[in-house]
């Protein structure tokens, strides 16, 4: 018997011997122990769930590596212990929200119960709500922490647990590490206070939501343009998620009157029956919203993921067809619009992640706005905002994975306000006699055509985790000298926090938290970033290429050239 299997069996036996574990769970564990193939048993127990870039996330099921009552309970008890130690003698409060996933409401009740039993005042939404509203509620209600139950855009088998701090942002070092230490210190489920103190649990009323809408109205520019073009047809889908509770209402509140909701996807449903995956990054998830867009001759279509922190967007071309904008294009357009209309650039800044298009950096330099880069994960952008509170003027932030934020009243990516912002942009483009697709080409002609590709390689389970580690070490220890005929001239290693000029041999330090990310800059301007996902069993390769675009007429030709280059880089990476 392998050491791994022995350790897994011992951990499973610990669960079986616990008085706190219910009989149904014990029966499921016994069934796993008697299976001839131990793979499912190993995947369920080989490790404990840990906070990654998106908090706690895993497949729902029994075991220490899955989302269930007990792993959620232990995580909550650990966070409760940390809060009580961090704020001794202070009345502590926390806000809780959940999305449409299976068991999300149930897990939210477990979380509320454990916090309440630990003497913590709980503010809880009585039904599903978008994640950004949780971030807003923490700040509005002056809570010390917050939790939202969601696995964002993961497949339906997953659920998750995002922990937030008193600034409305997801926890970052040292809090995340300290919480994990508190979780690890719990040696028995008997130490988890599952029995709720109902007097400590309070429902959040409509005041918080209305206050959020008022903040959105403040950041939306050109209200007179919206009033003029309020009837442009807009199509929205919540992809069976929490967005249906707020996005259509938010669009109405800022003045739009011709909003079409995709009825087949309107009902919240954790099985996501009309899509393969509830991820607006995937074209298949956008099929029904585009179909509806064609039916009503929409100016723009939008769809949000289950917890409504990401939004996918399609814009109409002159021939009536819709083109889906990827996260880099949508964010670039947002920044192009914002910075062109920014009246005061002094002390203003925007933020993005290191794997997001460098077209943003190029435009910011032209418009005289500071652009800061952070590690992947919106919590790092929020951390940066906290450092600059009262010192610099925050404008907007975004990342290539379809997450955007304008204004500083929320400290996480926000698809509700982003949908409102994109709708306002569509009205402004209409006012100019153009479409947002026209704007996209105009932007490329002015600043160069940047095109990005994302290659995901999925490696599931314990074996897959080891394979991903081996791939990263191979790239780290034997970096490529050239890729598709262009020399690698710079290497950035965010784990070693070193940048190396491969032409001169000069090394310099990177001022970032440590992260397992590598970036290769090529002589021809291509950039390749490599990182394991913090929330999914994947290794991700981000590819960015660019070329000048002399005129609109050359778009198709340059597009094909850049597409060919991206495919060449992908083929190289898969062959290594």
In the three-class reduction of DSSP (H, G, I as helix; E, B as strand; rest coil), residue 229 is classed as coil
Domains and CATH numbers, the chain: 1-46 (no CATH), 49-204 (3.40.120.10), 210-447 (3.40.120.10), 449-575 (3.30.310)
Catalytic center residues? 152
| Separation of CA 47 from chain center | 24
Identify the segments of the chain with pLDDT beneath 50: none
Q: What is the pLDDT of residue 184?
A: 87
- Mean pLDDT estimate for the chain: 94
Q: What is the pLDDT of residue 51?
A: 65
Query: Residue 398: which residues within 8 A CB-CB, separation 6 or more?
Result: 327, 331, 334, 335, 352, 356, 360, 404, 405, 413
275-324 tens-digit pLDDT: 999 999 999 999 999 999 999 999 999 999 999 999 999 999 989 999 99
Q: What is the pLDDT of residue 65?
A: 94
Q: What is the DSSP letter of 116?
A: H
Query: Residue 516: which residues within 8 A CB-CB, separation 6 or more?
Result: 472, 494, 495, 531, 532
Q: Has this prediction a pTM greater than 0.85?
A: yes
Q: What is the pLDDT of residue 153?
A: 87
DSSP structure string for 465-484 = HHHHHHHHHHHHHS--SEET
> Phi and psi at residue 6, in whole multiples of 5°?
-65, -45
In the three-class reduction of DSSP (H, G, I as helix; E, B as strand; rest coil), residue 534 is classed as coil
Task: Please state, as a whole number, how many other Cβ atoms lie within 10 Å of the Cβ of residue 68.
Answer: 23
Checking DSSP bridges between strand 93-98 and strand 145-149, what pairing results, if any? parallel
Best CA proximity match to 330, nearest among 426, 232, 260: 426
Q: What is the pLDDT of residue 54?
A: 57
What distance in Å separates the CA atoms of residue 432 and residue 430, rounded to the nearest whole number?
A: 5
331-370 tens-digit pLDDT: 999 999 999 989 888 999 999 999 999 999 999 999 999 9
């Amino acid at each position: 018997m392998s050491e791994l299997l022995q350790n897994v069996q011992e951990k499973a036996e610990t669960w079986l011997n616990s008085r706190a574990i219910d009989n149904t769970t014990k029966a499921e564990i016994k069934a796993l122990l008697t299976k001839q193939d131990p793979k499912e048993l190993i995947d369920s127990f080989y490790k404990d769930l840990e906070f990654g870039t998106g908090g706690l996330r895993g497949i729902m099921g029994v075991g220490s590596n899955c989302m269930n009552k007990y792993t959620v309970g232990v995580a909550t008890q650990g966070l409760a212990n940390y809060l009580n130690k961090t704020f001794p003698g202070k009345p502590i409060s926390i806000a809780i929200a959940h999305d449409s996933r299976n068991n999300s409401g149930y897990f939210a009740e477990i979380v509320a119960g454990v916090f309440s039993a630990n003497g913590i005042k709980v503010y809880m939404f009585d039904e599903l709500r978008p994640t950004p509203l949780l971030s807003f509620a923490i700040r509005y209600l002056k809570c010390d922490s917050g939790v939202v139950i969601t696995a964002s855009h993961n497949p339906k088998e997953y659920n998750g647990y995002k922990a937030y701090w008193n600034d409305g942002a997801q926890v970052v070092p040292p809090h995340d590490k300290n919480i994990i230490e508190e979780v690890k210190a719990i040696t028995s489920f008997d130490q988890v206070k599952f029995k709720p103190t109902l007097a400590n649990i309070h429902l959040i009323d409509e005041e918080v939501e209305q206050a959020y809408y008022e903040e959105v109205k403040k950041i939306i520019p050109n209200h007179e343009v919206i009033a003029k073009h309020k009837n442009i047809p807009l199509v929205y889908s919540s992809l069976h998620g929490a967005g249906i509770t707020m996005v259509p209402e938010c669009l109405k509140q800022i003045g739009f009157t011709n909003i079409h909701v995709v009825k087949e996807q309107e009902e919240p449903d954790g099985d996501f029956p009309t899509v393969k995956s509830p991820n607006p990054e995937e074209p298949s998830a956008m099929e029904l919203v585009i179909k509806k867009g064609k039916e009503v001759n929409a100016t723009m279509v939008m769809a949000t993921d289950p917890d409504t922190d990401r939004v996918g967007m399609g814009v109409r071309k002159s021939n009536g067809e819709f083109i889906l904008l990827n996260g880099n294009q949508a964010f670039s357009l947002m920044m192009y619009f914002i910075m062109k209309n920014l009246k005061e650039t002094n002390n203003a800044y925007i933020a993005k992640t290191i794997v997001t298009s460098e077209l943003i950096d190029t435009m910011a330099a032209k418009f005289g706005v500071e652009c800061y880069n952070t590690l992947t994960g919106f919590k790092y952008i929020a951390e940066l905002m906290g450092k600059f509170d009262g010192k610099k003027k925050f404008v907007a932030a975004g990342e290539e994975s379809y997450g955007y934020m304008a204004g500083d009243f929320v400290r996480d990516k926000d698809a509700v306000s982003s949908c409102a912002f994109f709708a306002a942009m569509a009205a402004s483009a209409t006012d100019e006699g153009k479409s947002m697709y026209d704007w996209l080409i105009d932007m490329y002609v002015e600043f160069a055509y940047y095109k990005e590709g994302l290659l995901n390689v999925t490696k599931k389970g314990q074996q897959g985790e080891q394979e991903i580690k081996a791939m990263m070490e191979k790239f780290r220890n034997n970096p490529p000298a050239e890729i598709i005929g262009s020399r690698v001239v710079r290497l950035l290693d965010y784990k070693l926090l070193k940048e190396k000029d491969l032409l001169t041999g000069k090394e310099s330090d990177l001022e970032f938290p440590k992260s397992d990310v590598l970036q290769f800059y090529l002589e021809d301007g291509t950039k390749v970033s490599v990182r394991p996902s913090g929330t999914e069993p994947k290794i991700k390769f981000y590819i960015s290429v660019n070329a000048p675009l002399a005129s609109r007429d050359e778009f198709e030709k340059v597009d094909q050239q850049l597409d060919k280059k991206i495919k060449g880089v992908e083929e190289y990476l898969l062959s290594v």
